[in-house]
């Protein structure tokens, strides 16, 4: 079930509603309280599960194990695009055009209105479909017993009567009754709001959406899909997309442009009334100009760029589950990386053990192997089992009870019966934990510590092994060394990250010596802090300790609360933090981080908490994702500059021409066509070629507004230059001058995108083919409109060619001006380049940001 897509607040509200609105319980509800034997009879199943054929029949009978999503009515969705401040302005312009009987304006503005709605609807739908397809690849798997064998189909294929296996970190995929085994601990906070884990014994009911925090056990499914407790108390709600820093900045730009348009248009209306122009005509023209100035395409461009970005990241083996993570990722400057499986290969091999009291190495390995389970697919267990020289050595022994590993106890334990009937216990785990169990701890502590430190110095991970005969005391047998070699690409990836301005900090539960040795090998530095010296989420660090956390190259012997605390301290010191993890114990830190990465093979709980799920192992995929996210940021940056510059160009030129020369340089229909062609082509910027910067990105409003303003002021200067040549030198008729002005603003406007898309000369980065095609296509259409006189006064081809040459000449003049503006703004800025922020970065736990008119991108 898609439990990771549900907002907790919505679930809690639904649960409350369910409690306050009593209803007659269905017959199926008895299945959670009846004796387990009767449940098996009613469901016609057993502890051995179902056959595959029977499961297929029941899937048809009961339906998929998922809650049906309520899709918004398509008609209502379409109508929503005609509701809001921007559509209202366009609609008023349509009505006014009809009142004054300007039918060409009426139909063209109507086309603009409908086309904006159509583009917005289809692009948002495409974005939603893309994200749904990506999320489908994150579908939770379930371990199910079919035909006597354990398989892992998607959880949506579960049916009542299935026998499943629940392990640490799993999200319970359906309502089930626990079978024989040890008591387990479940996190039911998503269902009940209770923060403390709940203990459940064999025979108890467990509910879909709970997370296994401790233990492992089999369970019999009795309800799926909408029949589950979860399904009956809450509707599936897609995770709301919070407005990220970048989106908020773009929305501010939109508000700025609207305010600018309102002020300048008010000036035009006042002048028109003062001069005695027809009020309706003046008002209609003013509205059309406002519509052209307002960034109508901004929500659509945002949607398309984010959706395209998510697909590009998916190709990099990084699946985005929260779209805002793409923007956050571009600004990440500290990455807290888990060691095992991320920096190392996670392929443990067993070395020569350290033995106590003349105990043979084979005995220690055998004891460790008996305390392991191959079916758990745990890397440590597999390494220990792989160390057995005689693969038949385990046959004479029967494991009657097994306690799996959990992050609290940090060991496994097995009760074993030998071939002669004698019973004994074996355990393996963290050396300090096993040492505390041993009755001879004081006598052997020095030797054990020396062995562990010796192994650590060589990069080995130590595993203590002990045995207890009958009910006797634990006897420490020795220490098994395990080695997890660094990934082949890890050292180069760490170096690449440093060049990109991203500091990688190792975070591991391993011993300090092992962490230090691994960090040295990878060139990360040797300043590794001991987790024991760190506080937790409830404490505030001193300035000195917070500084040491910021300066550290890594952290060793950390617990889950330490990981959360490390992220919290780094965030408070102004860093945008990425965090990797794979286990249920990593989930709090993954959720706390600005960008949480669930690495390849992560538990369901980790994937639910993370913003990005990695399909491929290793750290290089994260670095590739950061590169891609910075490219996406650059595209959005280019669009913002272009939009501001283009709006300034049109508004300033129109206002000054009307106020100073009492001349309307464009007709209302020309303004509408200008907006229509420009907004249509600019969508292609989502696919543009860009070069990412080797430093974390932050929204620098001062630089964007500065460059856009320079370009926006140069534009009217060029336009008035052409107006002077046409009017005073060539003595062209005013209606044809209007056509020339339209062609100039169209051509020069789209040439501006080639200046805003790069900090260097316009030719320094080759534009994407699709962008070139879009610009050439729209400007060809604009030129043909002018030549053939479609809704405008026809223009002689020679004058059209002159406009093109003039626009290209000013384009070449403007580019050096842009470069000079960059030099001036860069020279005058203070502090690091990533410091200028739109506003203080909110804490992720402060609640959702305010709603905005941007479409829900997920």
Enumerate the active-site residues: 338
Beta bridge partners of 528: 554
User: Treating both helix axes as pointing N-terminal to C-terminal, what angle do 769-788 and 668-682 enclose, rounded to 10 degrees?
Assistant: 160
Among candidate residues 752, 628, 774, 646, the one with its CA nearest the CA of residue 689: 628
Among candidate residues 364, 385, 330, 369, the one with its CA nearest the CA of residue 627: 330
CB 493 within 8 A of CB 618: yes
Q: How far is CA 192 from the centre of its chain?
A: 27
Residue with tokens 């233990």: 215
CA–CA gap between residue 830 and residue 837 (Å, rounded): 13
Sheet of strand 554-556: strand arrangement: 318-320, 612-614, 595-598, 577-581, 334-338, 503-507, 554-556, 528-530
Strand 554-556 to 528-530 pairing: parallel
CA–CA gap between residue 33 and residue 35 (Å, rounded): 7
636: its two tokens: 């959005």
Structure letter (DSSP) for residue 677: H
- DSSP string computed for 698-733: ---HHHHHHHHHHHHHHHHHHHHHHHHIIIIIS---
Among candidate residues 192, 239, 242, the one with its CA nearest the CA of residue 12: 192
Residue with tokens 């009956």: 232
What Cα–Cα distance (Å) separates residue 45 from each residue in 42, 49, 371?
8, 6, 32
CB 724 within 8 A of CB 716: no
324: its two tokens: 């805002």
CB 848 within 8 A of CB 242: yes
- DSSP string computed for 69-108: P-PPPHHHHHHHTT-SHHHHHHHHHHHHHHHTT-HHHHHH
Q: How many CB atoms lie within 10 A of CB 853?
A: 12
Q: 341 in the Ramachandran plot: left (φ > 0), alpha (ψ -120 to 50) or beta?
A: left
- DSSP string computed for 279-298: HHHHHHHHHHHHHHHS-TTH
């Amino acid at each position: 079930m898609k439990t990771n897509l549900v907002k907790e607040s919505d679930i809690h509200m639904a649960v409350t509603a369910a409690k306050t609105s009593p209803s007659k319980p269905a017959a199926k509800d008895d299945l959670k309280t009846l004796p387990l034997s009767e449940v098996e009879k009613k469901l016609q199943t057993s502890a051995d599960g179902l056959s595959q054929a029977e499961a297929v029949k029941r899937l048809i009978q009961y339906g998929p194990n998922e809650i049906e999503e309520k899709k918004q009515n398509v008609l209502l969705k379409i109508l929503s695009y005609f509701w809001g401040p921007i559509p209202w302005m366009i609609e008023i312009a349509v009505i006014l055009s009809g009142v004054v009987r300007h039918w060409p304006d009426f139909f063209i503005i109507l086309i603009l209105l409908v086309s904006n709605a159509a583009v917005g609807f289809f692009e948002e739908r495409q974005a939603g479909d893309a994200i749904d397809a990506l999320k489908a690849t994150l579908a939770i798997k379930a371990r199910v017993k079919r035909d006597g064998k354990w398989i892992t189909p998607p959880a949506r294929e579960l049916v009542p009567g299935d026998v499943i296996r629940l392990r640490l970190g799993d999200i319970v995929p359906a309502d089930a009754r626990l079978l024989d085994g040890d008591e387990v601990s479940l996190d039911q906070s998503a269902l009940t709001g209770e923060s403390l884990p709940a203990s459940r014994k064999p025979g108890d009911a467990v509910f879909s959406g709970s997370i296994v925090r401790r233990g492992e056990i089999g369970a019999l499914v009795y309800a799926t899909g909408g029949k589950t407790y979860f399904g009956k108390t809450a509707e599936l709600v897609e995770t709301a997309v919070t407005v990220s820093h970048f989106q908020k900045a773009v929305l501010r730009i939109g508000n700025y442009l609207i305010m600018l348009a309102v002020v300048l248009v008010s000036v035009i209306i006042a002048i028109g009334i003062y001069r005695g122009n027809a009020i309706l005509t003046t008002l209609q023209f003013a509205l059309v100009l406002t519509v052209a100035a307002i960034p109508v395409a901004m929500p659509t461009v945002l949607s398309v760029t984010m959706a395209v970005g998510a697909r590009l990241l998916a190709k990099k083996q990084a699946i985005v589950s929260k779209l805002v993570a793409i923007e956050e990722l571009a600004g990440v400057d500290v990455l807290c990386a888990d060691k095992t499986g991320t920096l190392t290969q996670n392929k443990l091999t067993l070395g020569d053990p350290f033995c106590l009291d003349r105990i043979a190495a084979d005995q220690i390995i055998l004891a460790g192997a008996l305390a392991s389970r191959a079916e758990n697919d745990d890397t440590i267990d597999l390494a220990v089992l792989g160390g057995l020289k005689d693969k038949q050595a385990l046959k004479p022994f029967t494991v009657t009870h097994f306690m799996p590993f959990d992050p609290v106890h940090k060991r496994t334990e097995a009760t074993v019966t030998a071939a002669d009937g004698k019973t004994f216990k074996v355990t393996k785990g963290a050396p300090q934990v096993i040492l505390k169990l041993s009755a001879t701890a004081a006598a052997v502590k020095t030797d054990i510590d020396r062995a562990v430190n010796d192994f650590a110095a060589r990069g080995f991970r130590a595993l203590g092994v002990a045995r207890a005969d009958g009910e006797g005391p634990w006897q420490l047998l020795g220490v098994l060394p395990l080695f997890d070699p660094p990934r082949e690409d890890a050292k180069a990836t760490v170096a690449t990250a440093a060049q990109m301005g991203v500091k990688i900090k190792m975070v591991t539960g391993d011993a300090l010596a092992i962490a230090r040795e691994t960090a040295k090998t990878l060139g990360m530095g040797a300043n590794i802090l001991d987790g024991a010296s760190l506080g937790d989420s409830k404490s505030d660090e001193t300035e000195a300790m917070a500084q040491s956390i910021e300066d550290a190259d890594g952290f060793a012997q950390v617990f889950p609360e330490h990981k959360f605390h490390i992220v919290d301290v780094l965030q408070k010191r102004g860093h945008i933090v990425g965090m990797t993890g794979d286990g249920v114990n990593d989930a709090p830190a993954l959720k706390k981080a600005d960008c949480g990465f669930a690495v390849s093979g992560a538990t369901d709980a980790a994937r639910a908490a993370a913003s990005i799920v990695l399909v491929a192992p290793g750290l290089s995929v994260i670095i590739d994702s950061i590169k891609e996210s910075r490219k996406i940021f650059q595209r959005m940056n280019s669009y913002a500059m272009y939009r501001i510059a283009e709006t300034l160009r049109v508004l300033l030129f129109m206002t000054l021409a009307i106020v100073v020369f009492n001349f309307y340089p464009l007709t209302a229909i020309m303004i509408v066509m200008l907006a229509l062609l420009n907004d249509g082509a600019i969508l292609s910027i989502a696919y543009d070629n860009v070069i990412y910067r080797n430093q974390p990105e932050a929204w620098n409003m001062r630089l964007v507004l500065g460059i856009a303003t320079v370009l926006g002021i140069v534009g009217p200067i060029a336009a008035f230059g052409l107006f002077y040549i046409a009017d005073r030198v060539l003595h062209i008729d005013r209606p044809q001058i209007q056509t020339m002005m339209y062609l100039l603003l169209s051509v020069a406007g789209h040439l501006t995108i080639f200046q805003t898309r790069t900090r260097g000369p316009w030719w320094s980065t080759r534009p994407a083919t699709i962008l070139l095609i879009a610009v050439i296509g729209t400007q060809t259409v604009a030129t043909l409109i002018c030549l053939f006189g479609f809704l405008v006064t026809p223009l002689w081809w020679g004058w059209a060619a002159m406009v093109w040459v003039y626009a290209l000449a000013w384009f070449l003049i403007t580019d050096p001006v842009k470069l000079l503006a960059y030099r001036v703004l860069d020279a005058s800025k203070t502090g690091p380049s990533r410091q200028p922020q739109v506003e203080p970065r909110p804490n992720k736990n402060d609640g959702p940001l305010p709603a905005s008119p941007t479409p829900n991108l997920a």
